[in-house]
Amino acid sequence: MNKIVFTLVIFLAAIAIAILVGPTPLSPEVIQLRLSRVILGIVAGGILAFCGGMLQGLFGNPLVEPYTLGSASGAALGGSIGILIFGTISPIFAFLGSLGVGFFVYTIATVEGGLLRDRLILAGVIMSFLCSSLVMMIMVMGGRELYEILYLLMGYLGVIINPANRILIMILVVISLGLVIFLYRYHRELDIISQGLETAAGLGIDIQRFSIVVFLTTSLLIGSIVSIVGAIGFVGLIIPHVSKLLFGPRHLYNLPASFILGATFLLLADTLSRTVTVYELPVGVVTSLVGVPFFIYLYKR
């Protein structure tokens, strides 16, 4: 019980810090700007960690993370192409990129007998490499837009919300939160799958259908997040582990905890990223720099 209270207190504190702390003095405009960052931070951090927990559970593999299955790299590629054409970040291109690559990975992993789970991971990793090379190529060709692509690759919460993309971002956020609730209903299935696929099938879980539903839904989620804030690393890999250390193996508890902890972590990392140096660092740099020592400490404890 006190763990839950503690987690929520830290979460609220992180929100307060993210709004109050910064180099510029507080004014209504600054608060509004930071508020939009906070909302994006909660949604992105929460969903990345939640999806990480889902996928680690589905594949029974602690090294799987949201980006393993390729949809994030697809978003980065789509976004880069968008930057090359329009000279500015366009979420639609990133989203289409992630859908395209996610679908491609799915096609590679499907044979006539159905979806092969091991192949899904392999196909995702391979497609990620392909997308990275293509992004590098675009970076070399693009020249001027290098800076923006870098932020797309490393993550950036300070997306300027202008009238043109406000509605799109709001729709993506609402749909994403809906999909999270949709996925959360599978907490029991994930508990059972941790005991092996045969046990799960014996208890009445249709593994094929379940894997497909979770893969497609998480791909859609990751695609929407990355298309807005870029490919923020580390949160989706590490937070689910922290959540399991604190709240135990039952997904009923550790999935929502992953969401809250992921949101907290990303808010704090973002605050650091915009205060620690004169320039704003990509938030992905900070999540890794701060997260790795913290995680080593937790695991060694």
Partner 1 sequence: MTAIEVKNIQFSYNTEDVIEDVSFTLHQGEFLGIIGPNGAGKSTILRLVCRILTPRLGSVLIFDKNITMIRRKILAQQIAFVPQETYFALNFTVEHILIMGRYPYLGVFQREGRKDIDAVEYALEQADVTKFRKRPINSLSSGERQRVVIARALAQQPKILLLDEPTSHLDLHHQFAIMELLKKLNTLGISIIIVNHDLNLASLYCQRLLLMHEGTIYADGTPKSLINEKTLRDVYGTSVKIIRHPDRDVPQIFLHPQGE
Q: Is 204 in the site for partner 1 (CB under 8 A)?
A: yes
Nearer to partner 1, 61 or 288 (CB): 61
Give least dist CB 85 to partner 1, A: 44
Using CB under 8 A as the binding rule, whether residue 298 contacts partner 1 is answered as no
Encode 81-91: b = buried (16+ Cβ within 10 Å), e = exposed. bbbbeeeebbb
CB-neighbour burial class of residue 12 (10 A; exposed 0-12, middle 13-18, buried 19+): exposed
Minimum CB–partner distance for residue 208 and partner 1 (Å): 11
Give the gyration radius of the chain's Cα atoms.
Answer: 19
DSSP 198-227: HHHHHTT--HHHHHHHHHHHHHHHHHHHHH
Question: With CB under 8 A as the contact rule, which of the stretches 36-44, 92-100, 116-124, 197-205 interacts with partner 1?
Answer: 197-205
Closest approach of Cβ 240 to partner 1, in Å?
12
Q: Under the criterion CB under 8 A, does residue 198 sit at the interface with partner 1?
A: yes
Residue 178 interacting with partner 1 (CB under 8 A): no
The encoded tokens of residue 297 equal: 């400490």
Angle (deg, nearest 10), helices 146-154 and 117-142: 160
- Told to check if 203 binds partner 1 by CB under 8 A, we report yes
Q: Is 257 in the site for partner 1 (CB under 8 A)?
A: no
Task: Assess 34 for contact with partner 1 (CB under 8 A).
Answer: no
Q: How many CB atoms lie within 10 A of CB 35?
A: 13
Query: Is position 191 an interface residue for partner 1 (rule: CB under 8 A)?
Result: yes
Contacting residue, 199, 294, 296, 298, with partner 1 by CB under 8 A: 199
Largest CA distance in the chain: 61
Nearest approach in angstroms of CB 206 to partner 1 is 6
Contact flags string 90-129 toward partner 1, x per CB under 8 A = ----------------------------------------
CB of 71 or CB of 211, closer to partner 1:
211
| Minimum gap (Å) between residue 286 Cβ and partner 1 | 30
**Nearest distance from residue 271's CB to partner 1, in Å?**
33
Among 194, 217, 275, 288, binds partner 1 (CB under 8 A): 194
Contact 32, 45 (CB under 8 A): no
- Per DSSP, helices labelled H in the chain are 2-20, 28-59, 71-86, 91-109, 117-142, 146-154, 163-184, 187-193, 197-202, 207-229, 235-247, 251-275, 283-300
CA distance 22 to 38: 13
Instruction: Between 87 and 202, name the residue whose CB sits nearer to partner 1.
Output: 202
Instruction: Establish if 244 lies at the interface with partner 1 (CB under 8 A).
Output: yes
Cα gap 186→201, rounded to integer Å: 15
Among 32, 126, 202, 292, the residue binding partner 1 under the rule CB under 8 A is 202
Residues 6+ apart with CB under 8 A from 157: 37, 40, 41, 44, 229, 266, 270, 283
**Given the rule CB under 8 A, which residues bind partner 1?**
60, 185, 188-189, 191-192, 194-196, 198-199, 201-206, 244, 249-250
